[in-house]
Structure 1
Amino acid sequence: MYNQMTKKRRSYNTQLLFQAINNNNTSMVKLLLKEGVRINARDNYCRTFLHVNAISGNHKITKYLIKYGCNLNAVNCAGDTALHEAIAYNNDQIARCLIKNGSNVRIKNYNGDSCLHFAVVYRHKLNVITMILKNGANINNVNVYGMSPLHFAVESKNIRIVKKLIANGIKVNSIKCGVSALHMAAGVASEVIVKILLKAGADVNYKDVNDCSPIQCAVYTGNIELVKTLIEAGANINNQNKIGATALHNAIMCGNERMISLLLNNNANVCIKTTDGDTPLHWAAMLNVGESHANILKNLLDKGSNVNNRNASGQTPFHFLIQDGSRKVVKMFLDKEADLLKKDFEGSTALHYAVYNGDSEVLTLVLDSGIHINEKCTRGTTALHHAAKKSKSDYIQLLLEKGADVNSPDLCGRTALYYTIVESIAHSDGQNVSESRQESIRLLLEYGTDINDKIYQERTILEIAIERRETVVVNFIVEHIAKLSLRKMPISDYNVQLINKHNDVINYYDMCKTELQAAIKKKIFGTVSFFNILTDSIDVIAGYARNIDLVDAFENSNYEMSFPIYCLPLKTRFYEGVERQKLMERAAIILSHSLNFADPYHIVYKRLLYYFSIKDLRILVDYYCYEVVEKSVDLVIDAIVLSMVVLGVLVIDKGFIH
């Protein structure tokens, strides 16, 4: 009975002692120790009284606990001794007391950290570190992550501790998961520590597990002086990591122009390739948007980078550049003899890539180079297919005006219109078709997409649209078929049967035909009907626009109410013709003045400007009106003179040309 009461009393006293230590109640601790407790009792975290006191920080209690036999080297659930805890909580006096009374400084916790690791991590005074070292700590111990005390000292940029550890013989080339202390010093941009480590014998070209050298780590910090220090120490500037990237690749990734110049001036190899075959120029071109990397690109080109060097996918730097670069940087590459005809391993040329550029001037520049517009890649797609997939109506129009084949099929028989309807990136939810997609569909239909052709899996484009339940798209196609029907153009029996098969489609088709018949009968002015505006070419409509009375009559007509289905194409096509006519008149005046040949109304200008797209006319007029002096203006005029000669309409006679 007495023994049971004694055990209960001790258990109760043990709980009280933990509380007293937590509350720094020294007198209560003394009383409880005298009365009797289980001196090596543990709490829920396997901590002894010494562990808890090492955290609380009462030096006197530490002495009492040691006096009564508390285990100095007991470990908690993390493998930490009381000494680990004292160091972690910056209780230096307790730490010294524990060491003096025999705490084992070589014990490592379950992460492999010794008390020396802790002393460095928690930035203790040098006298504590000195005491730990004097009492037998293994200075080169590494934890389970491969980190020595030196790694921690470098990571925290503690110069005094770094010097102390080196003075006590720590290995400067020990590794942390394949990373040396010099890698870490370079990575945290500590030039002072880098110099200390180099002086102590650190290997400037040591490679980590990814084969990166310290200079590659330093480049990412942007510290120019640090990189200079490593170069002066003999760093291999062309070291390649596991993906084959060099310090120059890394500097380009960071977009650091000064760093790139430093590396280039120290003989960085501009032709070295990654495992994917990318040179530094590939990376710069890939990262460039507009002119964001223009200076970097120029620097690399001036140092001999090859614009036509292929990577493992057959892509040249020019292929990357032309997707997002401005006209200026594209021209820079062309001046360095970039090959527009070179294909990647999928058969894509510069033209395929240019379609993805947001600047239409780049696409124009490529088209004006004379590249074959209907060139196909290995999947059978042309540039028009790509423009159609993105529903870039302005690019589609430009390509079509330059002669792109609207019915060119890919390897699966799919035309550009299929790509706009089925593969389009533009938003569509069936009833809501984006404006750019609508315009793309309209253009592809107007430029002669064969709606009778079975383009994919023996289905016509109308059938595909019906299956997809895209009402707006179906209506577009039906409107076009109705126009073809009234123009006596052939409609396949297959499409006719398809229309008759669906009540909503046949009803809409009949409405379209009724409206078009009314458009044939209703004249705008003279013999020109609204049907003419829907079906004649833009050049013919431009001719109509020379008649001011006809333009006024159209503008004052109530065509929106009379032709609700076709009002939008009526408006679009009419004003395209009006714009073309105005541009041609202004262009003729410009050419008459520039060439000093005939008056603006001479037949030569009418015949010549017929071959110009609206975009070409805008460029000519805008350059002249804004008095922009650029090579392209001279090139336009040279092209015009050449065209006139080829057409056989240039009359050299009696002062027409001076």
Structure 2
Amino acid sequence: MIMVCPATGYEALSFAIRKNSYKMAEKILKQPDALLIDDKWTDYILLIKALQRGCKQITRLLLKNGCRVNKPIKTNFFHTPLYYAVKLKDTQLVELLLSKGALINDKDFNKETPLSLALEKKCYKIVDVLLSKYLNQAIDLTSPSHDDYIAFNAACRRNNKHVVESFLKQEISNNMYLNYESKDEYNDTPLHIAVKYQNLEVIDVLLKYGANANAVNKKEQTPLHLAYYMKEKYPLEKYYKIIDIILSKLKNTNVNPIDNFRLSHFHIACTRNHLDTVKHFLLCKVDINSSTSFDSPTCSGYLPLHFAIENGQKKIIEFLLSQNANTLIKNKEGNTSLHFAFKFFYLDSNLIDLILSKDISKCTNPVNNYGLSHFHIACTTNNIVAIEKFLENEASVFTPVNFNSPICPGYTPLHFAVTFNRSTTAKILLQRNADSNMKEANGFTALHLACQQDAKKIHTILRNSINVSNTYGKINFERAYKESPIKVLDLIAKQTEQVDILDLLLQYKSNVNSQDNSGKTPLFYACDIDDQTFKNEFGNHKTQTLHSVLNQFYIKRNKIIDILLKYKANVNIYDFNSITVLHYIVDINKFFGDDKKTEVVKVLLNKGADVNARTKTGLTPLHIALKKGFIDLVEIFLKYNIDPNIVEYENLYTPLHLATMNDLLAPKSEEIISALLTKGADVDMKQIDGKTPLHIAASTRYTTNRLVTLLKVECDIDCQDKRGKTALHMACLNRNADNVQNLLNHGADINITDTFGKTAFFYFYEFQYDVLDSRVHVYNFHQIYYIFKNHIRRLRVIGFYVSWENMSYYMKLKDLHKQQVVNSDEDDFLMQLENEVQKMKSIKINSYSSLYDILFKDSNEMTLYIKNDKLKNILESSDFKSEFAQYSYLLKLQFEKGLRRSELLKPAKDSLEFILLISLPDACSERIFRYLSNRNLKDLIKSRTLTIKD
């Protein structure tokens, strides 16, 4: 046991602190009088040492043992304990010191308080803890110190309205400029600070206690200026609240502070719906046309009218116009009030007309820095008086907006009239020789724009159909439609300006096949409808209202397409991405599915659209429709003269590959596959990895009839992909018992190995480990095992070859299966097989062959036996399947093999004679054909067809 005398307690604890050893300090402090609380402030010095070295646990131990936290006599060598705790950024330690009575304004050494340090270190949790002490510590504010102002400032920053109000109740100055940081050059008042930090509650309190909203900082900014400039940093809702709170306090003020960029309170009042405040400013003789500086970073050269328009304040706009605000003065970018109205209120023709009416008598046509003129904007309206006045003053119908303009680049007056469906205006311009084939920045002629059912046109039609005056903001179309659906649909139908303009342009020789910068003609755009506007108006739900309204737009679209086709629109033009209009329509896949798309496709096909047109990646419209699962379009294409064997270039997919793999076609997959096969689709064509449609159909993990549909036609059932896998490999890999059974029943060879030397049976055999580990898919496992077991036994009984590898897997799985399932029927099955074999051997087909011998004939030999009446009668007998339950499928496969071969021999002989230009005896051709497979014979037949075509 260590004995610690008073003289050594300090040294022992100092040593423990140097070693940061909590256990040592704890052991020492258990000794009597280890911690001296004397007039030399030994305890205090130890506490400082512990804090300086960051020994937080020892610090807590010292405080627990009664260390003092405040020293009345200051020193030039140490900070206070509270200061060090703040420096360590330890909120809990700060709270502990405060609970022990640490003074928040106590300071030492460099005269910096803990609160100042917390602000500097941005330890805002600690700031809040320290501020909370101002509510329960007596602070004399009769002569407030710099430290008190720092605390007041911090409370304003931290939105601590209770502390702020506590200071204000003790009559601290509400409008003193606070320089709590040396880096702060702006000399802000508490209200500036509260605004800067978006502290609504503190702003309310400060204004309630008489904060001067007109006080300016060194940048000549009032709190209102500061709030305006921080718009991008605030959430909009909070920004508007701050502006509105301050403006409400200024509605009776007689001053209009202006900052260094000449932004005034009057300008800012015009951004909000404070009409009384705006009126009061004008009563105080504020200049209605005063502008901000061109050097302003956010609003260079803005007039009050600019501010009102940019912020959508219609009441303020109308009032300013009624007070003769100048509409022709430009801002730095050359924009007048009309330019702003067009930018922010382009759908509100009433507002644009109101501003235009102020300009008509002045015979001017202001143009902004991007070439957008008042005449251009007038052409978006039906204000014929204004348009005629501009034309009288020699406004040009040819002058476009600059091509670098952010708004309507390259637009001529005719482009504007067409975009906004102003048929009367368009007619006036065309009568003045406007060129209908001039192109804007995207290469659009007026005809391109006339064909587009874009957001502007759709939104305008919807608004007009419910008889609302154009206002800034969203309309409730759904509600209006429910109140009078027939009237609304009738109003939509009566808005024929778009169709009228289209007809008008074509009468004035607009090029119906003009291509834009992407190579698209007007017909491309006529076939599409922008769905984003419908989404905005109706939400993400396909309601009956939406269907009714969309139908009206589809009717309009059909009219537009009919007009274009009447004027000989080319339906087979490729755009610059090698896409025809047929590809374009099929590829449209927007949120609101276009169920009328099939009608457009039929019209185009009947007008000669090439159903086999290919993109630069080799895709036909049929490929795209199959990829996207558009069943209706697929069915239409199949009725036309499609080439079912066109291969796309990326993956070498044919339509049959896509029809087999796409589950979206599932309801009609088999029908589509059958139709493609009827059209001549090659069932054995390979995609880039060597897989045929049969591989794909065999790869599904769930049962479909796609595989069966393919197996009904002659296909290479044992075709191998680039990795050597057959369809049977794929079925085993995907554990699909039905596919395995179907493939084996159609003669799939179980002995074929892939590039890894594995048979299909191996991939099923490998599955045993999944079954043993997790017992998943146990049913599938046993089902496929029985299929293979029975198939192998059938083959072995009749003497067919089964590879050593397959027998090895079979025997191993047999042992595993015995552990899982007890089955006593194996001997019965074997006996049934042997009985059927004996029965087949006993039935003579002719003098040389029995029914059993048929199993071993090749396809050339079977062409002779398909004419054998006895064999045909056996196969067609009603009890054939029951008599030969195990081998009937093999006998039928042999017969079908002969039939397929026989069907090819005659056309193959004709083709060979055609190519050789000689007649061949049957015996000669048969001799030759023995060396050719069915695939070779098909190619021979195809070669004659191709030669005739050439």
Asked if structure 1 preserves the Cα contact closer than 8 Å seen for 2:379 and 2:416, the reply is yes
* Aligned with residue 363 of structure 1, among 652, 659, 673: 673
Post-superposition CA distance 1:220-265 (Å, at most 9, x none):
3294333212212222110122332222233344574433332222
Summarize the Cα distance change of 1:477–1:164 in structure 2 as closer, same or farther, 3 Å threshold. farther
2: CA distance, partners of 1:243 / 1:124 = 36
* Aligned with residue 505 of structure 2, among 227, 230, 239: 230
Greater gyration radius: 2
Q: Report deviation, 1:463.
A: 3.9
Q: Report deviation, 1:72.
A: 2.0
1: CA distance, partners of 2:657 / 2:175 = 91
1:520 equivalenced with 2:751 (yes/no): no
2: CA distance, partners of 1:304 / 1:287 = 21
Q: Report deviation, 1:443.
A: 1.8
2: CA distance, partners of 1:52 / 1:382 = 73
Which deviates further from its counterpart, 17-26 or 202-211? Answer: 17-26
Q: Could you say which residue in structure 2 is the equivalent of 1:586?
A: none
1:249 equivalenced with 2:538 (yes/no): no
Q: Could you say which residue in structure 2 is the equivalent of 1:393?
A: 704
One-letter amino acid matched to 1:517 = E
Two-structure CA RMSD over aligned residues (Å): 5.5
Q: Could you say which residue in structure 2 is the equivalent of 1:57?
A: 275
Post-superposition CA distance 1:317-348 (Å, at most 9, x none):
565577745797356423xxx44455444655
1:72 equivalenced with 2:383 (yes/no): no
1:453 equivalenced with 2:727 (yes/no): no
Post-superposition CA distance 1:620-653 (Å, at most 9, x none):
xxxxxxxxxxxxxxxxxxxxxxxxxxxxxxxxxx
Asked if structure 1 preserves the Cα contact closer than 8 Å seen for 2:677 and 2:683, the reply is yes
2: CA distance, partners of 1:277 / 1:486 = 57
Summarize the Cα distance change of 1:509–1:184 in structure 2 as closer, same or farther, 3 Å threshold. farther
Asked if structure 2 preserves the Cα contact closer than 8 Å seen for 1:133 and 1:139, the reply is no
Alignment of 1:437-448 (within 5 A): 437-448=736-747
Q: Could you say which residue in structure 2 is the equivalent of 1:602?
A: none
Post-superposition CA distance 1:357-396 (Å, at most 9, x none):
6353443344345554323345423221233345673221
1: CA distance, partners of 2:245 / 2:684 = 88
* Aligned with residue 719 of structure 2, among 404, 408, 420: 408
Q: Could you say which residue in structure 1 is the equivalent of 2:581?
A: 280
Post-superposition CA distance 1:120-159 (Å, at most 9, x none):
555547565455688898622156xx86556666668777
1:314 equivalenced with 2:618 (yes/no): yes
Q: Could you say which residue in structure 2 is the equivalent of 1:106?
A: 330
Summarize the Cα distance change of 1:332–1:514 in structure 2 as closer, same or farther, 3 Å threshold. same
Q: Report deviation, 1:302.
A: 4.2
Q: Could you say which residue in structure 2 is the equivalent of 1:211?
A: 443
Asked if structure 2 preserves the Cα contact closer than 8 Å seen for 1:139 and 1:170, the reply is no
1: CA distance, partners of 2:600 / 2:261 = 61
1: CA distance, partners of 2:423 / 2:730 = 56
Unaligned residue ranges in structure 1 (runs of 5+): 425-432, 529-536, 552-569, 582-606, 613-658
Partner SS for 1:118: helix
Partner SS for 1:12: coil
2: CA distance, partners of 1:402 / 1:290 = 36
Which deviates further from its counterpart, 256-265 or 164-173? Answer: 164-173
* Aligned with residue 561 of structure 2, among 254, 260, 263: 260
One-letter amino acid matched to 2:743 = L
2: CA distance, partners of 1:178 / 1:47 = 34
Asked if structure 2 preserves the Cα contact closer than 8 Å seen for 1:479 and 1:509, the reply is no
Alignment of 1:212-611 (within 5 A): 212-221=444-453, 223-253=498-528, 256-283=557-584, 296-317=600-621, 324=631, 329-330=636-637, 332-334=639-641, 338-345=642-649, 348-349=653-654, 351-355=656-660, 358-369=668-679, 372-389=682-699, 393-420=704-731, 437-465=736-764, 466=766, 469=770, 472=777, 474-487=781-794, 488=796, 490-498=801-809, 506-508=815-817, 514=823, 517=826, 520=829, 546=879
Q: Could you say which residue in structure 2 is the equivalent of 1:14?
A: 214
* Aligned with residue 427 of structure 2, among 195, 203, 206: 195
Which deviates further from its counterpart, 242-251 or 200-209? Answer: 200-209
Asked if structure 2 preserves the Cα contact closer than 8 Å seen for 1:482 and 1:512, the reply is no
One-letter amino acid matched to 1:381 = K
One-letter amino acid matched to 2:438 = Y
2: CA distance, partners of 1:540 / 1:269 = 60
Asked if structure 1 preserves the Cα contact closer than 8 Å seen for 2:381 and 2:422, the reply is no
Q: Could you say which residue in structure 2 is the equivalent of 1:621?
A: none
One-letter amino acid matched to 1:139 = P
Asked if structure 1 preserves the Cα contact closer than 8 Å seen for 2:328 and 2:337, the reply is no
2: CA distance, partners of 1:370 / 1:83 = 71
Summarize the Cα distance change of 1:291–1:449 in structure 2 as closer, same or farther, 3 Å threshold. farther
* Aligned with residue 174 of structure 1, among 388, 397, 401: 401
Partner SS for 2:519: coil
* Aligned with residue 40 of structure 1, among 244, 248, 257: 257
Q: Could you say which residue in structure 2 is the equivalent of 1:89?
A: 313
Q: Report deviation, 1:266.
A: 0.6
Partner SS for 2:724: coil
Summarize the Cα distance change of 1:544–1:269 in structure 2 as closer, same or farther, 3 Å threshold. same
Partner SS for 2:725: coil
One-letter amino acid matched to 1:268 = A
Q: Which has the higher contact order (CA 8 A, sep 6+)?
A: 1
2: CA distance, partners of 1:295 / 1:126 = 41
1: CA distance, partners of 2:367 / 2:785 = 82
Summarize the Cα distance change of 1:326–1:138 in structure 2 as closer, same or farther, 3 Å threshold. closer
1: CA distance, partners of 2:368 / 2:594 = 52
Post-superposition CA distance 1:56-97 (Å, at most 9, x none):
334653344436x89922368444332323555343444565
Asked if structure 2 preserves the Cα contact closer than 8 Å seen for 1:216 and 1:250, the reply is yes
Partner SS for 2:452: helix
2: CA distance, partners of 1:512 / 1:6 = 92
Partner SS for 1:245: coil
One-letter amino acid matched to 2:257 = N
Asked if structure 2 preserves the Cα contact closer than 8 Å seen for 1:72 and 1:82, the reply is yes
Percent of counterpart pairs with the same letter? 21
Instruction: Using structure 2 for the length normalisation, give the TM-score.
Output: 0.45
Summarize the Cα distance change of 1:171–1:354 in structure 2 as closer, same or farther, 3 Å threshold. same
Summarize the Cα distance change of 1:499–1:156 in structure 2 as closer, same or farther, 3 Å threshold. farther
One-letter amino acid matched to 1:270 = V
2: CA distance, partners of 1:303 / 1:70 = 62
Summarize the Cα distance change of 1:450–1:486 in structure 2 as closer, same or farther, 3 Å threshold. same
* Aligned with residue 367 of structure 2, among 140, 144, 156: 140
1: CA distance, partners of 2:712 / 2:377 = 66
Partner SS for 1:66: coil
Summarize the Cα distance change of 1:150–1:477 in structure 2 as closer, same or farther, 3 Å threshold. farther
Summarize the Cα distance change of 1:383–1:158 in structure 2 as closer, same or farther, 3 Å threshold. farther
One-letter amino acid matched to 1:178 = P
1: CA distance, partners of 2:223 / 2:655 = 81
Summarize the Cα distance change of 1:458–1:21 in structure 2 as closer, same or farther, 3 Å threshold. closer
One-letter amino acid matched to 1:409 = Q
Report how many residues are paired. 519
Post-superposition CA distance 1:578-631 (Å, at most 9, x none):
xxx9xxxxxxxxxxxxxxxxxxxxxxxxx99x979xxxxxxxxxxxxxxxxxxx
Asked if structure 2 preserves the Cα contact closer than 8 Å seen for 1:397 and 1:443, the reply is yes
